[in-house]
Chain A
Amino acid sequence: MIDIGIKTIGFFIAVFSFSVLINSPRKYLLWAGIAGAASGFIYIICVETGWNPVIASFWSALAAGLISHIFARILKAPVTMFLIGGILPTVPGNGIYQIMNSMLQNDRVMTGYYLTQTIEIAGAIALAIFLMDTLFKVIRRGDWKQDSLRYTRQDGGKEEKR
């Protein structure tokens, strides 16, 4: 349990500072860190349960997408601000390293294994982000609209009719 807590805090620190690295506005740093910690937490839990890293990445990226969209609507900011940090714990840094390492040791079998796994993880992340984007497009109601500026498009429409 303590182990999971420490790892989650590690993810928070990492994503918080990664947001500084890509020059996120100060007011969103904390939120990006929370999105990253949450997605990292889900990832650890899934892996501890004994699931395959690909499935763990999928659920983790799904959680990242959900949290990022919610934060974006609450804070009226672009989703990207939180999503980049949110999916960072699942980005296959491990895969990149293992592919390189197996290649270096001339181990074709393991190279193929890690290459396939990395591509699968990338696919899982893509699927998760796509699902969440679509979900939030469908349930766009009331104040929960896509923040990007769409609300003004409706105002523009009204003015045109007048």
Chain B
Amino acid sequence: MDYKLLMNTAMLAGKLMLENGAETYRVEDTMHHILKTSHLEVVEILVVLTGITASISGEEVAPVTLIQGIEKRGTNLSVIEQVNQISRRYCGAEIELIDAYEELKRVESVPYPPLLAFFIPLVVAVGFTISFGGSLYDVLATLIVGLFLSSVMAGAKVIGIDGLILDIATSFGVGLMAVVMKKVMGEAITLDTVVIGSIMPLVPGVAITNAVRDTLQGDYISGCARILEAFLKAAAIALGVGVAFAIFGNGMTGGIL
């Protein structure tokens, strides 16, 4: 068996999963299964949020150890699903190692049509406004705020900003638009409902889920990092909306608009 290729395959699978928002234990589990097919005595894997270390060795086999740093992190469940399927098929002896490696190299995200992707934040916002008890006018206001949110998100993708700055910028846009809508529509809408519904596409749902599962699995380093991520994202959203309210709303400045 080509141990180096096996190692590369396991490492590639782990890298893809970790980069696309899988939980730490899932990455360890998948890599463990792939490496276990070598039937060597020692299979050690250490996964933290920023990198992977894996090592295999046996009586007649010199140790093979690889380190892989992880720099970009996002959420893309379709990649995780594909890697999951490939490693299942490989571990179930349906495909050969070399094929698994080639397939893993070809894995890429399956994007939704651009037009659909553009309107998706809008739909999320409207859905949440409905379920948080918004009236018809609230939903109408959210439609406009959400359209603005969608445009900001699409624009940010074109310019290439992401991370916390994107969260602050988009939530600032939401706050600004909501204040404008409140001025336009007056008593007909509830500002709280419109804003809460509209920031829901931004809330760190993925970070919270992964933070909980990582921490309670005992992966404390990854867990802490993800909790921090969730808190920072929440703070960024609050900051964006807060700044918009403070400048344009009735907060500190007495209301410019």
Contact = CB atoms under 8 A, between A and B. Distances in A.
Interface of A: 6-26, 28, 40, 44, 77-78, 80-81, 83-85, 87-89, 91-94, 96-101, 103-105, 122, 125-126, 129-130, 133, 148-150, 152-153, 155-156, 159-160
B222 to A, nearest CB: 14
B130 A6 contact: yes
The residue among B77, B78, B116, B123 with the most chain A CB atoms within 10 A of its own CB is B77
Given A25-B81, A152-B92, A130 B76 contact: no
Given A23-B110, A84-B206, A97-B238, A10 B127 contact: yes
Given A89-B131, A93-B203, A148-B30, A25 B120 contact: no
Contacts of B126: 13-14
Contacts of A23: 75-79, 109-112
Pairs A-B, 9 closest by C-beta atoms: A14-B127, A10-B130, A10-B131, A13-B127, A152-B91, A100-B238, A17-B123, A126-B212, A7-B131
Given A14-B127, A78-B22, A155-B91, 8 more contacts: A11-B127, A87-B209, A89-B131, A96-B203, A153-B32, A156-B33, A156-B37, A160-B39
Interface stretch (B64-72, B154-162, B244-252): B244-252
Contacts of A19: 77
Nearest to A122: B208
Q: Is the interface of B mostly helix, strand, loop or mixed?
A: helix
Q: Is the interface of A mostly helix, strand, loop or mixed?
A: helix
Contacts of A126: 212, 215-216
A17 B121 CA distance: 8
A66 B254 CA distance: 48
A126 B132 CA distance: 22
B201 A21 contact: yes
A89 to B, nearest CB: 7
B78 A130 contact: no
B123 A78 contact: no
B7 interface: no
A129 B216 contact: yes
A80 B33 contact: no
A81 B216 contact: no
B112 A18 contact: no
B130 A9 contact: yes
Given A22-B75, A153-B33, A91 B130 contact: no
A20 B201 contact: no
B124 interface: yes
B216 A18 contact: no
Interface stretch (B51-59, B97-105, B192-200): B192-200
A148 B28 CA distance: 11
B23 interface: yes
A129 B209 contact: yes
Contacts of B44: none
A40 B212 contact: no
Given A7-B130, A153-B36, A80 B212 contact: no
B123 A155 contact: no
Contacts of A21: 120-121, 124, 201
Contacts of B123: 13-14, 17
A76 to B, nearest CB: 8
A14 B87 CA distance: 32
B213 interface: yes
